[in-house]
Structure 1
Amino acid sequence: MRKQDFTTDDHLYLQVAGGLEKMISEDVLRIGDKLPSVRVLSDEYGISMGTAFQAYYHLEGKGLIESRPKSGYYVRFNQHRFPDLPKMNQPAPLSHDISVKEMIASIYSDIASHNDKVINFALAAPDASLLPTAKINKSVMQALRNSKDSCISYEHTQGNTELRKQVARLSFNWGGKVKADDVVITGGCLEAITLCIKAITKPGDMVAVESPNYFGIFQSLENMGLKVVEIPASPVTGLDIDSLQQAIKKFSIKACVIIPNFNNPLGGCMPDENKKRLVDIITKSNIPLIEDDIYGELYFGKNRPRTCKYYDTKGMVMHCSSLSKSLAPGYRIGWVIPGKFMEQVKQIKRIHNISSPTLTQAAIAHYLQHGRYEYHLKNIRKALHTQCLRYLQAIIDYFPEDTNVSRPHGGFILWVQLNKKVNTFKLRIEAMKHNISIVPGKIFSASHNYNNCFRISFARPWDDEADYGMMMLGKIIKKML
């Protein structure tokens, strides 16, 4: 690759780094190989020495190469070293009551901890250092100035008009053709999901969910007196559609709740053809599909994955998302595009909380208009991809050799599968003695599976403290074998 071969899509240093990364992944450059000096790389690619240094700095940040004093840069990591993927679990084809309340409550206390001594690998939210705090603060002030009553009055039940317009504009990223009137603003994505479930089910109904699945969804289902049918999912391709079809034949399923893009906690991303097939199945079966797309914008590749809503022509997909994972977790700005169930969702929203907070809606609407959100997304995706590689390398270096781990292409969650001798709830207790917080796998299932699995978030930037935390986790795990 020479300078004249470069495209204009990315910075030059990223294109140079991408070419070198490809050579590393294809074993053209192997672990231990010395890379050209900065000067030689500059001459070979026809770029400045500053650009060459940036390319190496980028690869070093990903942990793919290392700098050795007075010697140069060397390859230190190859993706062929990744551990095996977690094995796909086959939950029993039964409907389940849900009971992990006490366990979840104890874990929430750790997740919400503001104790600076805790190395928090449990929190599935971006670190504040990755967020445009100063720009959001300016948008808050501007929202107050622009409001006739300083945002002290109730907002419309459906949500701030400008914010709904901005959400509709964001739908272009996944090919959506959405109008502001199609959107209902909610207090985060979980409220959006809960409103949808309430709109289409009654106590005792059965709801199909992926297994494993986000424990907040299980809590919501339990609170409404619903039963779950767990459908196996792959850490690569997500929900097993054949298993869902079998469950639909066996059970009277009233709704389906899935996370198609970078599932929490497994990390799988459904191929677009699978999404289309899923929408066809639920449409023919007249089963509403509640889609949680909260991680969809945090992809590591070139293109955003499609949503199930993209393939929906009958209004059967209730698309839920939020900005909690990408912009402002504490502002609790979410939304639902409920399709044919709009009136039911709006009615439940009115009963539930009248409207979402006025100030945060106005502030985020202003930020989306003026704050260069797409530029922020590009930066946070790059940072999370780098952090993902760092955490994967730590698992390889510190955990037992028989450890399996997911390899997500977006989001910021890893699913770790250990030897069956390890109980990860006991692991969590031992880890907390060292001020290290993780989330045990048992709470991601209603059938109490995944006792030897746990979720770890790589939303925390990699530093010496994170390295220490991963090293200590590895030591604790090895002692439990």
Structure 2
Amino acid sequence: MKRYEKYADDIAELIRSGVLAPGQRVPSVRYASQAHGISPSTVFQAYYLLERRGMIRARPRSGYFVNPGALVQPAQAFSEPQVSAHVSESTEVDVSELVFSVLDSIKDPNTVPFGSAFPSPMLFPLQRLSRSLASASRDMDPRMVVTDMSPGHPQLRRQIALRYMVGGLMLPMEELLITNGALEALNLCLQAVTEPGDLVAIEAPAFYACLQVLERLKLKAVEIPVHPRDGIDLGILAQTLERYPIKACWCMTSFQNPTGALVPEARKRELVELLRKHQVPLIEDDVYAELYFGPHAPKPAKAFDTDGLVMHCGSFAKSLAPGYRIGWVAAGRYAQKIERLKLMTSLCASMPVQAAIADYLQHGGYDRHLRKLRYALEDQQRAMLAAVSRYFPAQTRVSQPAGGYFLWLELPESVDSLHVFRVALAQGISIAPGPIFSPARRFAHCIRLNYGSPWTEAAEKAMETLGRIIRSMLGH
């Protein structure tokens, strides 16, 4: 055993035995080095190892502290949700009214927001972003407001291209277009490759905004089952491509909403090759890509695109600044068409806001913020899984994603998730019921829960109440 591993094990034992309590500061690097006769680099290696294990976390300029969730164990007793059943027919999409009723439920600040699509704004560096906005607005060349309307602020596009490069993906800046959030990027991508009445392959379950876009554009959905851990079923997708004139495939390849599924790298390569064979464009919705829990970021399907068929859509809404509404698309062969569609609709995203995010990416410590955000989300996932284990029926199946901030729960079949939604909302708890994730309103006994807010006594009580509501439907 190496010296840093031995020291890490010693600290871990102090945490497990309660000598170092949750939230307590662990020995400083200098003190540990002197007290144990080891080098500062050895101490750092030990603390990095404990960070990866989720036992401690760094606080800027304060040192390392015991992670509040260090001793909370995931609910290992639960099975993962089953793969959704395959429905071969195409479906007209009509879910908006149901979706709007769910979205309205989270507007009340006193409601526990388990049904929200966003993490808590308290997890974002909003004050630092405000300083970047003030600075960027003051220094911005006024001519840029006109000359760079589309494809977007050049410095922001450059920063995004650099982040792709760090991840091993070299993209020309000409391929990048800044949009009003990822949702506009996804809308533009669909408009670029479809006409009303066309068929689009989507996931089942699918993010409800995807369904609303199809509904608005008068497109038909062909649902492809999603494995709760490995993502879209490539076998069924292959059969669908042979059987139907699919014009596009919309897929979340990393930490899919609502299941949290992460398509393994080899399967992402297969997905791109399968679609290349049929010359069907992939609209890759990858807004959760930065929210991974392990040591390495997952590669996007775009990394395996050699024909320009993958339109990779990202956003800062889930990782940095939800209210700023800045997203982008790396549009491949469709870049010019999408840029022209953008000019015909919204012209450009806010230039001062683009400049602010560019400034933050360059000077604000984005990677440091992401590191803290990932630790927080991982802690909160542990806490929610533990609450599910304590309060929900034993037959409950739960996803355990390696990133993002959603759990997908499959309840006993006799439970009506829309009824759970209504009863819970009356008690100040919002959830996302399964039917909003399907054009045919399937998944009636499933719910999506958001663990993107700091875990509080109110959240714990809300989970206890949810469990009680669900059990009452089973006669428990």
After TM superposition, the score normalised by the length of structure 1 is 0.87
Alignment partner of 1:244 out of 225, 228, 237? 237
**Structure 1 equivalent of residue 137 of structure 2:** 144
> Do residues 93 (structure 1) and 75 (structure 2) align?
no
Alignment partner of 1:110 out of 70, 84, 105? 105
What is the CA distance between 1:60 and its match in structure 2?
Answer: 6.7
CA contact (8 A) 2:395 2:411 kept: yes
State the alpha-carbon separation in 2 of the partners of residues 393 and 35 from structure 1. 20
**Structure 2 equivalent of residue 35 of structure 1:** 17
State the alpha-carbon separation in 1 of the partners of residues 152 and 90 from structure 2. 36
CA contact (8 A) 1:38 1:53 kept: no
**Structure 1 equivalent of residue 302 of structure 2:** 309
**Structure 2 equivalent of residue 441 of structure 1:** 434
Q: Residue deviations 1:393-417, cap 9 Å, x none? A: 0000011111111000000011011
Partner-residue secondary structure (3-state), 1:81: coil
Residues 326, 36 of structure 1: alpha-carbon distance in 2 compared, 3 angstrom cutoff = closer
> Do residues 219 (structure 1) and 212 (structure 2) align?
yes
Identity of aligned residues (%): 35
CA contact (8 A) 1:155 1:357 kept: no
**Structure 2 equivalent of residue 395 of structure 1:** 388
Report the aligned-residue RMSD.
Answer: 2.9
CA contact (8 A) 1:157 1:349 kept: yes
State the alpha-carbon separation in 1 of the partners of residues 236 and 335 from structure 2. 30
CA contact (8 A) 1:183 1:335 kept: yes
**Structure 1 equivalent of residue 357 of structure 2:** 364
Residues 110, 321 of structure 1: alpha-carbon distance in 2 compared, 3 angstrom cutoff = same
**Structure 1 equivalent of residue 278 of structure 2:** 285
What is the CA distance between 1:295 and its match in structure 2?
Answer: 0.6
State the alpha-carbon separation in 2 of the partners of residues 172 and 185 from structure 1. 17
**Structure 1 equivalent of residue 62 of structure 2:** none
**Structure 2 equivalent of residue 465 of structure 1:** 458
Partner-residue secondary structure (3-state), 2:86: coil
Alignment partner of 1:404 out of 392, 397, 404? 397
CA contact (8 A) 1:124 1:412 kept: no
Residues 20, 125 of structure 1: alpha-carbon distance in 2 compared, 3 angstrom cutoff = farther
Letter in 2 for 1:455: R
Letter in 2 for 1:250: R
Letter in 1 for 2:348: S
What is the CA distance between 1:348 and its match in structure 2?
Answer: 0.7
State the alpha-carbon separation in 1 of the partners of residues 277 and 204 from structure 2. 23
Letter in 2 for 1:412: Y
Partner-residue secondary structure (3-state), 1:310: helix
State the alpha-carbon separation in 2 of the partners of residues 292 and 473 from structure 1. 31
Q: Which has the larger displacement, 380-389 or 152-161? A: 152-161
Partner-residue secondary structure (3-state), 1:257: strand
Alignment partner of 1:258 out of 251, 254, 266? 251
What is the CA distance between 1:90 and its match in structure 2?
Answer: 1.2
Q: Residue deviations 1:429-462, cap 9 Å, x none? A: 1001111001101010112210000111110110
State the alpha-carbon separation in 1 of the partners of residues 418 and 164 from structure 2. 39
CA contact (8 A) 1:151 1:359 kept: no
CA contact (8 A) 1:83 1:405 kept: yes
CA contact (8 A) 2:316 2:326 kept: yes
> Do residues 81 (structure 1) and 99 (structure 2) align?
no
Unaligned runs of 5+ in 2: 58-64
After TM superposition, the score normalised by the length of structure 2 is 0.88
Letter in 1 for 2:383: R
State the alpha-carbon separation in 2 of the partners of residues 305 and 83 from structure 1. 26
State the alpha-carbon separation in 1 of the partners of residues 431 and 67 from structure 2. 24
1:317-396 matched pairs, under 5 angstroms: 317-396=310-389
Residues 156, 234 of structure 1: alpha-carbon distance in 2 compared, 3 angstrom cutoff = same
Partner-residue secondary structure (3-state), 1:210: strand
Q: Residue deviations 1:35-75, cap 9 Å, x none? A: 37459998999799xx899996669745453xxxxxxxxxx
Letter in 1 for 2:427: H
State the alpha-carbon separation in 1 of the partners of residues 227 and 171 from structure 2. 30
Residues 16, 463 of structure 1: alpha-carbon distance in 2 compared, 3 angstrom cutoff = farther
Partner-residue secondary structure (3-state), 1:382: helix
Q: Residue deviations 1:94-136, cap 9 Å, x none? A: 100011121111112123x1x2321111112121221111210
What is the CA distance between 1:179 and its match in structure 2?
Answer: 2.7
State the alpha-carbon separation in 2 of the partners of residues 263 and 234 from structure 1. 10
Residues 222, 36 of structure 1: alpha-carbon distance in 2 compared, 3 angstrom cutoff = closer
Unaligned runs of 5+ in 1: 7-11, 22-32, 66-76
Residues 455, 150 of structure 1: alpha-carbon distance in 2 compared, 3 angstrom cutoff = farther
State the alpha-carbon separation in 1 of the partners of residues 294 and 275 from structure 2. 29
CA contact (8 A) 1:425 1:451 kept: yes
CA contact (8 A) 1:318 1:338 kept: yes
Letter in 2 for 1:156: M
**Structure 2 equivalent of residue 205 of structure 1:** 198
CA contact (8 A) 2:103 2:116 kept: no
Residues 140, 92 of structure 1: alpha-carbon distance in 2 compared, 3 angstrom cutoff = same
What is the CA distance between 1:80 and its match in structure 2?
Answer: 6.4
Partner-residue secondary structure (3-state), 2:105: helix
CA contact (8 A) 1:405 1:417 kept: yes
**Structure 2 equivalent of residue 179 of structure 1:** 172
State the alpha-carbon separation in 2 of the partners of residues 96 and 45 from structure 1. 68
Q: Which has the larger displacement, 397-406 or 102-111? A: 102-111
State the alpha-carbon separation in 1 of the partners of residues 289 and 37 from structure 2. 35
